[in-house]
Amino acid sequence: MKLKFIHAADIHLGSTLHLSNQPPKEYKELFEEAIFNAFKRIVDRAIKEEVDFILLAGDVYDKEERSIKADRFFKQQCHRLNEEGIAVYMIAGNHDPMESCREIFALPENVYNFSSEKVEEKAITDSNDQILAQILGQSYHTKFESQKMYLDFSPSNKDRFNIGLLHTQLGSMNNNYAPASKAELKEKNDIDYWALGHIHQCRIENEFNPVIAYSGIPQGRKFGEIGLGGCLIVEVDYSHNIEYKFIPTSSLVWKRLEIKIDEDQNDIPSNLADLEKLINDRVEELTEQLPIIPESLETTNDDWQDYFSGYILKLVIKGRGEIHKLLQEQKEEAVQYLIKNLQQRNFSSSFLVWVDSIKLRTSASLPDFDTLQQEDDLVFTELSNLLDLCKEKEEWKDKLKDELGEIWTTEVDHEDLDPEKFQLTDKIYNEILEEAKNLIIERIVEGRD
């Protein structure tokens, strides 16, 4: 036995790119068709690789009320696969639950949508009707599914290669999306490959025994879905050894680019023209860089660069300098001026660099901390020691986190975000400490003036 299949999810057909500024006419088709083109590339690759089947782990459509364009497009792509003898096994997710979703067009016979009433099992057979593998899956009936679906993923034959098709968010905070944890899925030792959907970043949660994988979103739609999107191609040999590789499918990649005005202390922008030049230089550097393949993943030897069309950028301007006062006084006008000029600029690149938004996070200039320590050794040395304790001692970290309050959490519900909570990562924690230090210095310096 040798098996080859594609694992994809979260296509979100019918959705659009969430742009802050509308691109010019020459880019209209590129932006409007990006999501459709990403799925077409998955189908193209399936045909080229002669895979046995495609798995779609939920949220094929973006909404319960499917658009005619999205439904017709999906039908056309499934017909292409049908002509090549490639089956499609899919489940409904929280965006396209089965309760109210109806196909506008009849799908070809190669498409199987798993029931939302119970876990179903489908056998994969060869030309001699020998069973090669079994796929188990269950669709969402409504937008929220609190039942632990995975518990009923019990294959009829444990010795075959068994695949679990599940739309879930792994983690203890998940109560709405077929709750499961990585440890719980690992305990199901009769499933060899968990094909997951719902998380929009490609992740290998467990590398073997079993493989637990999110394929990610094929085309990001907003800044919460940054990076190169795609799917996974999986090969299985007669001993159930699994190899998987990432297939990039995004034509447009969302990217957050931080620019520090004080990175070069000898060349801090003092006016808007200086700032514009700094931004132009940093963006120009980006035009020489292709998107990065998700960490720890190999990609297929494919010319995906040929269809990569460009970046959609959010610029975050940070740092301290005298220009901060000007930017605060003319914030809205300054942002619009910079965006307009950047969008009109022709960068020396073979792909598009589209600046969609700019966030100003600058601050006023501060005296050098080392100099302040020398001038008032007691106060500023004490401050430095206190910050070191907050960074290095776990008990101090825990105490400070308690003081920060319940608005901070270490876990985030991917779909059901709590607007009153923020994720407290190590990076954000250290940024809070640094900003606290600067605020204290500001107050001390102001008090002495």
Task: Output the pLDDT for position 295.
Answer: 76
Instruction: Report which residue type is found at 423.
Output: Q
The string of DSSP codes covering 357-398 is: EEEEEEE-----HHHHHHHSHHHHHHHHHHHHHHHH-HHHHH
Residues 241 and 390 in one domain: no
What helix, strand, coil percent values describe the chain, rounded to 5? 35, 25, 45
Task: Output the pLDDT for position 53.
Answer: 98
Whether 295 contacts 367, CB under 8 Å: no
Residues 270 and 283 in one domain: yes
- Write the CATH number for 21: 3.60.21.10
Task: Output the pLDDT for position 419.
Answer: 44
Where b means 16+ CB within 10 Å and e means fewer, 381-393 reads eebeeebeebeee
Residues 210 and 261 in one domain: no
Residues 222 and 283 in one domain: no
Other CB atoms within 10 A of residue 280 CB: 15
Residues 13 and 135 in one domain: yes
Residues 166 and 56 in one domain: yes
Whether 21 contacts 357, CB under 8 Å: yes
Residues 392 and 360 in one domain: no
Q: What is the separation of C-alpha 62 from the centre of its chain, rounded to a whole number of angstroms?
A: 16
Last residue of a domain, one of 249, 268, 297: 249
Per-residue pLDDT 10s for the chain (449 aa) are: 689 999 999 999 999 999 998 888 889 999 999 999 999 999 999 999 999 999 999 999 998 778 899 999 999 999 999 999 999 999 999 999 988 667 788 899 999 999 999 999 999 998 888 899 999 999 999 999 999 999 999 999 999 999 999 999 998 778 899 999 999 999 998 999 999 999 999 999 999 999 999 999 999 999 999 999 999 999 999 899 999 999 999 999 999 999 999 999 889 999 999 999 999 999 998 888 889 888 778 887 667 888 899 999 999 999 989 999 999 999 999 999 999 999 888 777 788 999 999 999 998 887 666 666 666 666 777 777 888 888 888 888 777 777 776 666 655 555 544 544 566 777 788 878 877 877 777 677 666 65
Give every CB contact of residue 13 below 8 A, 6+ residues apart in sequence: 35, 36, 39, 60, 61, 62, 66, 67, 70, 71, 73, 74
Last residue of a domain, one of 226, 249, 272: 249
Residues 177 and 66 in one domain: yes
Residues 357 and 393 in one domain: no
* Domain tally, the chain: 3
Last residue of a domain, one of 342, 365, 388: 365
Q: Phi/psi at 430 (nearest 5 deg)? A: -65, -35
Q: Map residue 250 onto helix, strand or coil.
A: coil
Q: Phi/psi at 226 (nearest 5 deg)? A: -75, 160
pTM, rounded to two decimals: 0.85
Residues 258 and 229 in one domain: no
Residues 130 and 160 in one domain: yes
Whether 249 contacts 231, CB under 8 Å: yes
Residues 216 and 109 in one domain: yes
Q: Map residue 90 onto helix, strand or coil.
A: strand
Q: Which of 86, 83, 78, 77 is nearest to 37 (CA)?
A: 77
Other CB atoms within 10 A of residue 274 CB: 15
Q: State which residues form the domain around 409.
A: 367-449
Task: Output the pLDDT for position 69.
Answer: 93
